[in-house]
Chain A
């Protein structure tokens, strides 16, 4: 799977939008961008994923650049409960399920 690059940490004020960047300059045409987060002492939680179009769900929005070399996860109104490590993962979704390859992620701290 292609490697990703994320900032090690970010701060965000409560109630503001949190924009978490991810670079994946070597992404292939059949690779998706997945975002997971891990709140302290819990298992990773799926957030969202996309191929080339922007995606939105009840948790977040995913903006993927036209060249697909980078993406941004947006939490529109961050709360203290959004404090977590956020992982951007690029992987192929094909006929066989494959393990996720986690990097170091971005530690997001939401501040009151």
Chain B
């Protein structure tokens, strides 16, 4: 089936503008995660959604960042008043808990990412 998709693939914006990044998870996956990867850096967790529970926002770097997940499927990450340090690749992943052969797994599958450049 289809994997995780993200749009746009690239976004160039001016400092101070708002941007919205979209993630379409794998159908049926209950958990959705946002990460970001700055140039030459590792992946940094931002926020995740699990079913109908309140999202875990502990990784959001500032209150300019927010995310929502409508209908338990598509998610939008919004960055308000963008700054140059927000430039990064924003990655989305989804997962669903599966138990198989006595081994439990909630393997996360990643999308291709959105490369955000703030000028």
Contact = CB atoms under 8 A, between A and B. Distances in A.
Interface of A: 32, 34, 42-46, 49-51, 93-105
Interface residues of B, number: 27
Per DSSP, chain A at the interface is: loop
10 contacts: A32-B105, A43-B111, A43-B112, A45-B110, A96-B50, A97-B95, A99-B48, A100-B93, A100-B108, A103-B42
A99 B45 CA distance: 7
Contact of B31 (A43, A97, A102): A97
B20 interface: no
Contacts of B103: 50-51
A95 B97 CA distance: 8
A59 B108 CA distance: 16
B88 interface: no
Given A49-B105, A97-B50, A44 B110 contact: yes
A98 B104 CA distance: 13
A44 B95 contact: no
A102 B110 contact: no
Given A100-B45, A101-B45, A93 B95 contact: no
Nearest to A50: B103
A44 to B, nearest CB: 5
Interface in B54-88: 56, 59
B91 A93 contact: no
Contacts of B33: 99-100
Nearest to A47: B107
